[in-house]
Structure 1
Amino acid sequence: MKRNSGIELLKVIAIFLVVFTHVSNSLSAEQLLNIKYPVPNFNIFFVYFAKHFGGIGNIIFVVCSSWFLCDSKRIRIEKILKIIVDVWIVSVSIFIIYFLFGLRANPYFLVTVFFPNLFGTNWFITCYMILYLIHPGLVFITDSLKQRSHAIVCIIIFTAYFVLGFIRNELLYSSDLIVFVSIFIIVSYIKKYMNDFHSNIKCNLLLLCISVLGLIGLYSCLYYLSITVSVLGGKFLITSFNNNPFALFIAIALFNILSNLEFYNKLINNISSMSLLIYIFHENKCFRLFTREKIWLWLIDRFGMRYLIIMIICFSFFLLTVSCILSFLYKKISSKFVLELVERIGDFLIKVGYLFSNKLMNIK
């Protein structure tokens, strides 16, 4: 069955937004721009605003996944194992390359390299795996709710984590995982009971426009307020968190619009299928800490700050292209080996699971 390229195109857009944010995050480091607080400069304004793109990209991925997972109570253990193996192979392989070129790391850094999922080196992947593992329970809960009860739950979690949690992130034990679970429950309601809204392109275009303007307006106000009121400091960056309600509305609107575009494009689908690998390669810890900032130092030294926005865009496209090529080569070279390894690990875990479950059932 061919996948709808409308949704796959949205995933490609999402991964570019994530790459764009990570590129600008390296640039916004204090040692590069030597700027700790907002200043009345459009380039700096844009650099910090670019932090929002990654959050929107993250939410888009969660919305897309939730749309399909909310109808499934099955966990494919091989999917989780493949993610773990892919992350481990890429993390360790790139570290070995850096080590051969002279990198020496402390023990903690080595532990995070060899156990990337455990230490959240790529936090989104770890968070997504947890969401995937618990999604059958979430489906059971949402299926047991009547429409009114489901709507009330959506209102409560939206108020708690996209309004109160957005105002102050520490409230109600807010975390990225809780935000992702909240998105899952909201998307489940939309799929079950809001089909007219989902298929209404004009309505979603209006929602998209209002949300984009709301996000830009809120960020601009907080940014320039932070310039005049020094005590606010970096408070303007609260709008870049994953629980930004405008970012959620943007992601939902984009999903509804593009999922209704029924077409097929092989290139788009192929790039989308590599989105996880693209994320792993472009945000590798060694590259992020020891190379990306050096590239920025060279670019700023060579071209200055005049063409900063153009450099961010070009650097992002370049990094995305390189990551796509590396992901393609990785799939070609290691796909067979990875699948065999995943199958063996899966068989072993199933045997161990049956053994422990039998022992547990025999306990009186």
Structure 2
Amino acid sequence: MAGHKAQRGKTIRNSNVELVRLIAMAMVMFNHSPWGASNYLDMGAGYGQRLGSTLIVSFLGNWGGVGDCLFFIISAWFLCDEQQRYAKNASRCWHLEKQLWFWSFLLFAGCIVFWHIYGGVPGMKSLASLGLKTVFPFAANMWWYPTAYMLFLMICPLLTRGLRSLSHNTHAALCVGLIIVFGWTPWRLFPLNMGYSVLLFFYLYILICFAKWHMGDLCMNRTMAYRLLIFGLVVGLGSQLLVQCVLPNRIVWSLWMNSPRCLSSICIALAIVICATTAKPRHSAVINYIAASTLAVYLVCTHPLADMVLKPLAARTSVGIAAIGQVFVMAVAVYVGALAIDMVRHWVFDWTIDRNVERQNRWIVLRLRAMRDSGVRILDRLTAAASMKVQ
């Protein structure tokens, strides 16, 4: 989620890691593609052909959990070793909020255009709800990932400090307990009240911090990374294969492969990050510049406009394997298009809105500190008043 301006600074990003960001977002894109609306399944075909088509779609579309996990672990991998400061994280949130505003208004305008084309407007309640989320994309939770990530950034310094204070054994026990509760049960079958929220990021961050701080050999061992990768793929794809053999006529979503909290997804994501960070560092200005726009793909493919445009197109696809290819091309087109538009946005922002970005960051930090100090004073007064009444 780094901005393009950061790429021009002193720190040159490892293009291996930036390439992994692009791969992670491709996983998310295929997960949100309109496979179910397409004609990939020929009900008149035999069992083998139906199973083959379903398996292809299932294996293409069930990487969303790995993608979510991978995209966050990349950030957590570096955050846990960073000197955490609220001012820096507030600046990151402001940078992200500007991107959310751009895309929320652009996509809302797209919705209006297609409502006009289709000759119908949703009810006032739906229109007002989408309008509210457009104006307040963070507060109204337009997209769960950036909302959860911004909340996480605000709590991350305190969380990191607390985890640092834990002993090795206590931190290990916490990780084991979390994995026992959340790590082996798919979200669709056993939600356990976690869902897709900031709680997911707390959970993953606790695990990654333990790996980075107390399992340094693992984080540098490519052989162990390959074993983690094999384990995750066997559990994730193997379980998907078994379930689809029983249910060849429909795709089964949100099993072990498509749940970012499950061990299979975590193992795959962690293995990929270890391989990327232990490989010989590469520095490509092109890859780094493109990778800074990866979040835009998620914002586009999970917005209501995507369903409005892509599902009717998917419904017109051919029958069978040709439909899979056509939806695949649609997904690639959205992926490339979103990246291209966001790169243009960055270029425009660099010359306009972000010309005085440091001043903006200072102003926001000062306002947040003033709000914090006011809140502390109010609490102190309430405490003092309560003490006087007790006396």
- Using the size of structure 2 for normalisation, the TM-score is 0.80
Aligned to 1:89: 102
CA offsets per residue over residues 45-67 of structure 1, 9 Å max, x none? 33233332121111001111111
1:56 maps to which residue? 66
Alignment length (residue pairs): 350
2:288 — aligned with what? 269
Q: Which amino acid aligns with 2:342?
A: S
Larger helix proportion of the pair? 1
Q: Distance in 2 between the 1:167 and 1:324 partners?
A: 31
Query: What is residue 319 of structure 2 aligned with on the other side?
Result: 304
Q: Is the 8 A contact 2:58 2:251 kept in 1?
A: no
What is the CA distance between 1:170 and its match in structure 2?
2.9
- Calculate the aligned-residue CA RMSD, in Å: 2.8
Partner of 2:5: none
Within a 5 Å distance, the mapping from 1:159-178 to structure 2 comes to 159-164=180-185, 168-171=189-192, 173-176=193-196, 177-178=198-199
Counting only pairs closer than 5 Å after superposition, residues 173-322 of structure 1 correspond to structure 2 as: 173-176=193-196, 177-226=198-247, 237-239=254-256, 240-261=258-279, 262-286=281-305, 288-298=306-316, 300=317, 303-322=318-337
Question: % of aligned pairs identical?
Answer: 19
Question: Within the alignment, does 1:74 sit opposite 2:82 as a pair?
Answer: no
**Equivalent residue of 2:181, what SS?**
helix
Shift of 1:34: 10
Q: Is the CA contact (8 Å cut-off) linking 2:231 and 2:267 kept in structure 1?
A: no
Do 2:172 and 2:210's aligned partners in 1 also have CA atoms closer than 8 Å? yes
Q: Taking structure 1 as reference, are residues 353 and 83 closer, same or farther at Cα in structure 2, changes over 3 Å only? A: same
* Match of residue 121 from structure 2: 104
Structure 1 position 320, deviation (Å): 1.4
- C-alpha separation between the residues in 2 aligned to 1:32 and 1:284? 23
By how many angstroms is 1:77 displaced?
A: 1.0
| Residues 1:328 and 2:336 are matched in the alignment | no
Rg comparison, structure with higher value: 2
TM-score normalised by length of structure 1:
0.85
Is the CA contact (8 Å cut-off) linking 1:208 and 1:253 kept in structure 2?
Answer: yes
- Distance change (3 Å), C-alpha of 1:22 and 1:234: closer
Q: In structure 1, give the amino acid aligned to 2:56.
A: F
Q: Which moved more, 1:96-105 or 1:151-160?
A: 96-105
Note if contact 1:28-1:48 (Cα within 8 Å) is conserved in structure 2: no
Partners of 1:161 and 1:179 within 8 A in 2: no
Q: Whole-Å Cα distance in 2 between the matches of residues 317 and 234 of structure 1?
A: 21
Which residue identity is paired with 1:127? A
CA distance in 2: counterparts of 1:267 and 1:242, whole angstroms? 29
Matched residue type, 1:5: S
Task: Give the conservation status (yes or no) of the 8 Å contact 1:199–1:260.
Answer: yes
| Secondary structure at the counterpart of residue 321 of structure 2 | coil
Q: Which runs of 5+ in 2 are unaligned?
A: 1-10, 385-391
- Decide whether the 8 Å contact of 1:81 with 1:346 is kept in 2: no
Structure 1 outlier segments of 4+, above 6 Å:
30-35, 233-236
Q: Distance in 2 between matches of 1:290 and 1:359?
A: 48
